[in-house]
Structure 1
Amino acid sequence: MADKKENDELAKGSAGAKAQDNAGESENIELKKKLAEAKAALKSADEEKAKLECDLDQEKKAREEAEAENRKLDDHVAKLEGSELERQKAEEKVKIFIAEGEGAEGRDDVFVGAQGISYQIKRGVEVKVPMSVYNILNDSAYTAYEESGDGEDIEYVARAVPRYNIRVVE
């Protein structure tokens, strides 16, 4: 009887050990699956990283090329502006006086751009400017609309009004 009891206990222990082995094996399989998934995710991340690094290198190269092209264009523009500035310096000058206008804006300096060269002209002061600048100022106008007619036949007629009150001093 003792042998039977021992055999039963050994059988139970053996079955328990087999159950533990099966559980351990199942856990081992799950861990291997997770490890394989993690390795696949790592490989995918590495591939994405390599792609992004390649894209970044291409962007850097494109930016460097664009900056080099911009420097060339800046140099070219500087040459053109330099030659235009020289042309305007050699151009006939005219002494003008721009009177102040109405309101706060009428006291502001007048900005004129001629072929890429900028001028800031103070109002109320006699200044010499190239003839091309004077022509730009003289041609500057805004459109004013005046009513014409009466009753239901009112029309608005456009009229060009000089923007600046300019007087040639010499």
Structure 2
Amino acid sequence: MPPEYKYERNFGNSPDVAAIRDGASLPRLFAFCAHCRSPALARKYVLDWVLFNLIISNWDAHGKNISFFVGKNGIEPAPCYDLVNIAVYPEYQQELAMALGDDFDTRVSAFQLADFAASCGLSRSLVQATLTAMCKQVVEQLPRVWAACVLKTPAEQQFAANLRDSIQQQTSRLLEHAGMMQDVVL
């Protein structure tokens, strides 16, 4: 894909061009999975990628941050990369690179999650169960990861604490909204 199409709003988000959405999008990404060697595994991989990026507040998860291997046996998702918490960098744009449902808001709601599931051909229960399980795993592992950090300077310690707190707040919010997904009427 050409670099200028890596964002869903390929001309930017200013009012005069925000409605132009010809770039990479989650529905297009999930539709592409039909061409993979194992479409079901590819869709699950992409779902995990989307949800993990939400958990860590990687609002800049765009179309060039997910890759696929093309080989003699077909197309398969490549390992994840460029997983960065953008929320701890207030100087960067705090908007999703690809809409979740039809919304670029980073304060993900139950409606956005339900709309995302519908627009990508996923069951709400799958999205809800996967998001809930991933959030719980992150919450469980975060203290272990925190304890393993070697932080030498006060600046490193403060940054790591901000990162940890950001992820804890996001998992709490996502768990709350995942629990309300089934009640949403689209």
Q: Same fold (TM over 0.5)?
A: no
Higher relative contact order (CA 8 A, sep 6+): 2
- Bigger fraction of residues in helix: 1
TM bucket by the smaller chain?
under 0.3
Could you tell me the TM-score, scaled by structure 2's length? 0.18
- Bigger fraction of residues in strand: 1
